[in-house]
Structure 1
Amino acid sequence: MPNLNKLVNKHTISLATSAAMPVIGMLVLSLMAHNLPAADFGNYIFLLITILLADTFRNGFVQTSLIKFYAGASKKRAVNVAGSAWYVGLVQALIFVAADGLIYLFYRSKSIDTETTIQWFGIIYITTLPAAVASYILQAEEKFGRMLILQVVNQGLFLIFILTLIFLHKLSFQTAVYAYFAGSAVTSLLTIFNGWAKIRTIKHRTKETVSQLAHFGKFSVGTSISSYLLRSSDTFIIKLMFNPALLAVYYIPQRLMEVFEIPMRAGVATAMPELSAAVHKNNPEEVAVIMKRYAGMLTVALIPIAIVAFLLGEVVIEILFGKQYRDTEAVNIFRLFMCYVMLMPIDRFFGITLDIINKPHLNMLKVLLMLVVNVAGDFIGIFIFHSLYAVAIASLFTFFAGALFGYYTLKKHLKFTIRDIFSIGYHELKGIVSHLLEKSKTDKVDI
């Protein structure tokens, strides 16, 4: 029972951590949308997307490789990996800052807001490095409580700064940028001074480990960029092939899918250190069990939610986005998305496990295959049916292709079956639910 208690607590904190950023972030965006002129809000979104795209490089290059080689390693090896990851992250950040500096020196824009974006991008990107590395290390150490604190401090400070600017009637694009920088700077300084970032380990880096992290990271970057393009490809194709007004219709069910991303991000964050530790122990059976447990639990948990969402699609969209979208394609597209929700955890964990067992090139190939299937499916479907539904249906083939590729490549290295995933997932989830119910009854008796 103590192990089950630990598992439940870890899942709960990880879920809260994964939910904190999107929830607070959505609140901040809502406040800014209501209090900024459309042009200023658009400029801020452009800066945010630019930073997020750059973060995709950093996460791909540093995060997965750090967790893989850090979790479960000896204390000396962990220090070496942390220092080498710091060096890799710093070099990558300085390259981005140098490129941004050259653009700032030689590019002359007529818009002061564009110049502000170019001027502050590099400053903000280098400022966020300590907090980013700290979050990777905390995840590798399975210190999800501290990760939650880090997320809440970062997003909470930004929210407080924005609310203060609104109260003082000083909110503009430029002051929003200053607030973003201030929140990032304070958070990074906090991680440095309390030791979470482990910045002093940089002196323990070695050429061999730096090379090892960089070699692994180049495939992770390829996977991250391909994933970004996969998420964005439908948007670009719809904008190219249809009336721009239909982009909002398709965006709504896409946005709702982020609800399902929250438990998956929590599951991935919890599972990666466990998988890495099992690999360090050279225990492929344990790796397979961990993969099956998390992929199975998420799949089994999401199926009933997807069924309810399928049945209540009209109600959900009307409540969240208004009556004007109730009778559009958004409802049925949302229902089509619900048809492949059960493939998402399996596909995600096949990819993560390939990374952890040191096959990042296969995970990159998997995502590239999904990108090709999605783009080809979109164009073929639109050409034949001339409908938004064709784009949604193409996504079903996309995830099926990814899951199939992941299954056959992973089967060469681990022993498992799809039936195992559902069976173990069901029993694990049943055990957690039973434990929570028993704990609830015990708490009532104590009261």
Structure 2
Amino acid sequence: MRHSTHTMGNSLNSKIASFLSNKHLMSLTGNLTVQAINILYFGLLFRYLKVEELGAYVFFNSILGLADSLRSGFVTTAFTRWYCGAAVKRAAEVMGSTWVISIAITVVFGILNLGAYLVSYPLANEGFNLFIKWSGVTMLFMLPSFVGMSVLQADQRFDKLLYLRSMQLSMSVLGLFGLLLLHKVNVTNVIYTNLFAAAITSLVILMAGYTRLGDIRYRSMECIKELAHFGKYSVGSQIGATLFRNSDTFIINFMLGPAALAVYNLAQRFMIIIELLVGSSVATAMPMLSVAYNKNDKAELRNILTKNVGIVTWVLLPIVGGTILLAEIPIYILGGSKYIGTEAANLLRIFMAMAILFPIDRFTGITLEVINKPRLNLIKVFMMLTINVAGDFAGIYLFDGIYGVAIASFPTVLSGFLFGYLLLRKDLSLSLTEMMRVGLAECKALLAKFLASFKRVQSV
């Protein structure tokens, strides 16, 4: 009996260890955990902030995301591209040069932000006021976290990424609960709690050594120039992608007002489910794509892309279908009764319908950068941005409301999918049919493996 119990314990321990060693599952679990906390956080904000305040907060975060995309676009892809698979000495040089670029961008942005505060604060738009007042210090507090998490992602340490990202969000949630208990919930106090969470997380990452700050002594001007040369295209793609994601926010804020923006953003919150599935897959695939490209292994590059696009697309299908049928339920759970009867549920249905094209759009974009063709991805992103902005104005004119903004996203996503796919099909001999066939086979194999493991655990 004791031997049987010991065997069962070893079996469970080995299964847990196997799960923790699977980087795809750890990345997905990490994103799922973080986004679950994020949904809780925004659920509280939707319920306890006034609609106009929430709209201003959403607008502030959108502009802050655009500013952060300048730093991450210049650094993240270029860093991963040259860091993964590099020799120890080269990796240290890339790390030190990355620190120099990251600090320089943060300092320049802080100076510009201070100038804007002295010249133009306050403005009539509250979202802009929040950005001018708080964005510089937020970027500074998040700098060590940004570099450290870039290193952990490149090293595929998704377990540590999970702990750190969960810690930062959890502190924000706890801070919000504290504001609720003190009856002090307003947009400024919410930003204070976020700054505190960002500062503590950065301090922990620095003390743990994940930032590799000491490697800054190995920096070289040649490497800085190399990263910057690549980054000038990558940053354009990153800013364009952020503008694309937030162009709806900007247009709605100025043309329809913060209340309409709050309704629109509530529906968009559930796209987190899509983002976490696609994003976690991209996060695990990008280092592998980089290694395959650095080894000049086109076949492996093609296989990684084909398999990942296929798997994620098939996983999305039941989620998309279920959400379209039951859209009112998640809207009520997150936003409460005050958003029932608004456009939120139908907006969610529109967003989910187009989400099925997200996997191939995101993967073709990141692959263009990995294979050293960031200029093409830059063209793709700004093409999509142009189509989206023109579509938003046309949609608001034709439909006289936020439905027009959502519907305008269809031609935008379709154009991005076609552009990226057609470019890579020539280089890598891609096939949509093969992506779906391989993806279905992989999903069946994963499901069979899971069911077999579940049966073995039950029988122990």
Q: What TM-score, normalized by structure 1, do the two folds share?
A: 0.87
Q: Are 1:22 and 2:12 matched, yes or no?
A: no
Give secondary structure in 1 for the equivalent of 2:78.
helix
| Cα offset, 1:393, TM superposition | 3.4
Of 89, 93, 99, which residue of structure 2 is paired with 1:76? 89
AA in 2 matched with 1:263:
L
Q: Distance in 2 between matches of 1:326 and 1:166?
A: 24
Please give the residue correspondences for 1:241-390 in structure 2 after superposition, counting only pairs within 5 Å.
247=261, 250-318=264-332, 320-321=334-335, 329-381=343-395, 389-390=403-404
Does 159-168 or 368-377 show the bigger shift? 159-168
Of 175, 197, 210, which residue of structure 2 is paired with 1:196? 210
Q: Is the 8 A contact 1:72 1:278 kept in 2?
A: no
AA in 2 matched with 1:369:
M
Q: Are 1:431 and 2:445 matched, yes or no?
A: yes
Q: Distance in 2 between matches of 1:38 and 1:57?
A: 29
AA in 1 matched with 2:166:
V
1:213 matched to which residue of 2?
A: 227
1:271-318 CA distances to partner (integer Å, 9 max, x unpaired)? 111111111111111111111111111001111221222233345445
1:66 matched to which residue of 2?
A: 79
Of 80, 95, 99, which residue of structure 1 is paired with 2:108? 95
1:134-189 CA distances to partner (integer Å, 9 max, x unpaired)? 10110001000011111022222333344345445666655544433332222112
Q: Are 1:126 and 2:140 matched, yes or no?
A: yes
Q: Are 1:230 and 2:244 matched, yes or no?
A: yes
1:370–1:421: structure 2 CA closer, same or farther, 3 Å change rule?
A: same
Give secondary structure in 2 for the equivalent of 1:302.
helix
Of 52, 70, 73, which residue of structure 2 is paired with 1:57? 70
Q: Is the 8 A contact 1:130 1:191 kept in 2?
A: yes
| Cα offset, 1:245, TM superposition | 6.1
1:236–1:122: structure 2 CA closer, same or farther, 3 Å change rule?
A: closer
1:235-259 CA distances to partner (integer Å, 9 max, x unpaired)? 4445666687655554443332222
1:312–1:106: structure 2 CA closer, same or farther, 3 Å change rule?
A: closer
AA in 1 matched with 2:67:
A
Q: Distance in 2 between matches of 1:358 and 1:402?
A: 19
Does 432-441 or 308-317 show the bigger shift? 308-317
Q: Is the 8 A contact 1:73 1:277 kept in 2?
A: no
Of 399, 403, 421, which residue of structure 1 is paired with 2:413? 399
Q: Is the 8 A contact 1:15 1:262 kept in 2?
A: yes
Q: Distance in 1 between matches of 2:21 and 2:291?
A: 19
Alignment identity in percent? 38
Q: What TM-score, normalized by structure 2, do the two folds share?
A: 0.85
Q: Distance in 2 between matches of 1:211 and 1:103?
A: 29
Q: Distance in 2 between matches of 1:44 and 1:340?
A: 26
Q: Is the 8 A contact 1:73 1:280 kept in 2?
A: no
| Cα offset, 1:421, TM superposition | 1.0
Of 20, 23, 26, which residue of structure 2 is paired with 1:13? 26
1:65–1:34: structure 2 CA closer, same or farther, 3 Å change rule?
A: same
Q: Distance in 1 between matches of 2:89 and 2:382?
A: 36
Q: Distance in 2 between matches of 1:244 and 1:98?
A: 29
Give secondary structure in 2 for the equivalent of 1:23.
helix
Give secondary structure in 2 for the equivalent of 1:413.
helix
Q: Is the 8 A contact 1:285 1:415 kept in 2?
A: no
Q: Are 1:444 and 2:458 matched, yes or no?
A: yes
Give secondary structure in 2 for the equivalent of 1:153.
helix
Give secondary structure in 2 for the equivalent of 1:412.
helix
1:126–1:250: structure 2 CA closer, same or farther, 3 Å change rule?
A: closer
1:6–1:130: structure 2 CA closer, same or farther, 3 Å change rule?
A: same
Q: Is the 8 A contact 2:55 2:262 kept in 1?
A: no
* Aligned residues: CA RMSD: 3.3
Counting matched residue pairs gives: 444
Q: Is the 8 A contact 2:55 2:261 kept in 1?
A: no
1:24-71 CA distances to partner (integer Å, 9 max, x unpaired)? 234334445666678876776565444333212121111111111111
Q: Is the 8 A contact 2:51 2:258 kept in 1?
A: no
| Cα offset, 1:361, TM superposition | 1.1
AA in 1 matched with 2:359:
P
Structure 2: runs of 5 or more not aligned: 1-13
Q: Distance in 1 between matches of 2:129 and 2:409?
A: 38
1:339–1:444: structure 2 CA closer, same or farther, 3 Å change rule?
A: same
Of 135, 145, 151, which residue of structure 1 is paired with 2:149? 135
Q: Distance in 2 between matches of 1:165 and 1:274?
A: 43
